[in-house]
Amino acid sequence: MDLVVVSNRVARAKANEPMTGGLAAALLPVVEKSGAIWVGSSGRVRDNATKDSFAEIESLGAGALALLDLPAAHYGGYYEGFANSALWPALHSRTDLIRVSQDDYQSYREVNAFMARALMRFRKPGTMFWIQDYHFLALGAEMRDLGVRNPLGFFLHTPWPARRVIAGVPHHRELIEAMLAYDLIGFQTDDDCENFATYLRTDLGLEVDAGIVTSRFGTSRIATFPIGIDVDGFSAQAQRAASHPDVSRLRKSLHGERLAIGVDRVDYSKGLVNRISAFDRLFEMQPSLKRSVSLLQIATPSRGGIEAYSNLQDELSKQVTEVNGRHGEVDWTPIRYLSKGFSQTVLAGFYRAAQVGVVTPLHDGMNLVAKEYVAAQNPIDPGVLVLSKFAGAANELDTALLVNPHDIDGMARTIATALSMPAPERRMRWEAMMAKLRAGTIHSWFADFIDALENARSTAGPVLPSATVRPLRAVGARLYN
């Protein structure tokens, strides 16, 4: 089977490099093992980028990594513009943060079309293409426009919101129609899948029957594929990481104090302000916990060119300073706040050193930090996961302590419960979560999606010949008005 995986951000194979985001970290082991070609952005732009502007093609385990320079004129409008200032806020139900221009939409479509042309280099008769995430909603349709009949799959790593929320994205209708060029469209949770089906039925007037929908492109299947992690690999990494100098330094710095850990990109969907407020409240409600626990919050800067993100960075720095000023002592800092990324190895060691994992997003597709925290624990003395019920992971990790991230007092009380939980209960909850993680790893996620993509193609009718498909450019002309 020839497989080409496409995502905006890719991961490099170096375990010691900081990694940004769940998607890149999750895909790395499966690409390495499967022999797929992974195509993504090189992170560089060029004035004269062409479909052949591959900065590098290098091997990655049994597979390969092909990094493409993107066109300078459109990169900003595509990445910071339409993808992250229109789609991302809407997908996380923050339509109040949508800021987008017509030019941004045009750039998004241009980059999708550019990527489609670049992918032609990897097309052979049996090749399957698996496109990842909201950066490339229209990529499949662009490929069909170029005459591609190969199986095309798509997986969304974020939530998919209610129909009235996605309707806040300019051109939502054309984009969602374009998504139906994919043979298989995968979501993280049943709720996301159902929201998408409702949109298709209500706004596009299409019939969706047992996950099958027929559009002008032919037949597509929509289904849920909750993403997992490499459980055994991560667990082994966490054990090995105990001897890593950064992990030893962390342990030494604790002097018997207990540690709670949060690891997030600085993003308004992650609930960071509420989390810091919950620790503030915890120290107010239970002053006896001062000096006996602190929060290590790793907050990796992200998308800093977007106002909502730079504002959040400023707000968090101010808030942490205030909370530390209020509760801290000359020799104790309640919130250890680090604005930088760490490698997977070091993070695995940090998770194992922490008695509480706090993963409290306001809304999250899955949240793999929650799964990694669990996998990293010592089976004899596992820590406790405090998890937002609005993370996709809460569907599986239902023996975590589930919280409402809008309820600050409730979160503070739950963190206190986590800190005083007896070992037998911690073990019981942890074992139940590990069983869930083992039942759905990154490897089974990958295999299930590929199987379903093969089946979607064999059960679906043929894709319409491209002459009968309304070309996207014609749609685009209307959109760009």
* 135 is a catalytic site residue: no
The one catalytic residue among 104, 172, 364, 443: 364
Q: Are 134 and 25 in contact (CB under 8 A)?
A: no
Supply the minimum distance, in Å, between the C-beta of residue 419 and ligand F6P: 28
Min dist CB 144 to ligand F6P, Å, is: 24
In the bound state with ligand F6P, the residue whose beta carbon lies nearer, of 21 and 357, is 21
Q: Which residue is nearest to ligand F6P (CB)?
A: 21
Beta carbon nearer to ligand F6P, 129 or 134: 134
Name the residue nearer to ligand F6P (CB basis): 283 or 351. Answer: 351
CA 12 to chain centre: 17
Closer to ligand F6P by Cβ: residue 158 or 215? 158
SS3 78: helix
What's the closest the beta carbon of residue 351 comes to ligand F6P, in angstroms? 17
Q: In this structure, what are the phi and psi dihedrals at residue 318, rounded to the nearest 5 degrees?
A: -65, -45
Beta strand 212-215 pairing with 208-209: antiparallel
Q: By C-beta, is 43 or 379 nearer to ligand F6P?
A: 43
Which candidate, 91, 88, 85, 29, places its Cα nearest to that of 60?
A: 29
The Cα-based distances of 213 to 48, 407, 464 in angstroms read: 40, 39, 15
Neighbours of 63 (CB within 10 A): 19
Calculate the dihedral angle through the C-alpha atoms of 280, 284, 288, 293, rounding to the nearest 10 degrees. Answer: 0
For ligand F6P, give the closer residue by CB, 393 or 419: 393
Beta strands in 98-217 (DSSP E): 128-132, 152-155, 184-187, 208-209, 212-215
CB of 15 to ligand F6P, least distance (A): 18
Per-residue DSSP letters for 327-353?
H-BTTB-SEEEE-S--BHHHHHHHHHH
Q: Point out which residues bind ligand F6P (CB under 6 A).
A: 8-9, 20-23, 133, 157-158, 265, 302-303, 365
Of 135, 157, 171, 363, catalytic: 157
47 in catalytic set: no
Cβ atoms of 130 and 155 closer than 8 Å: yes
Helices 472-479 and 102-119 pack at an angle, to 10 degrees, of 160
Residue 304 CB, nearest distance to ligand F6P (Å)?
10
Is 453 in contact with 43 (CB distance < 8 Å)? no
Report in angstroms how near the CB of residue 266 gets to ligand F6P at its nearest: 10
Q: Which residues are catalytic?
A: 157, 364
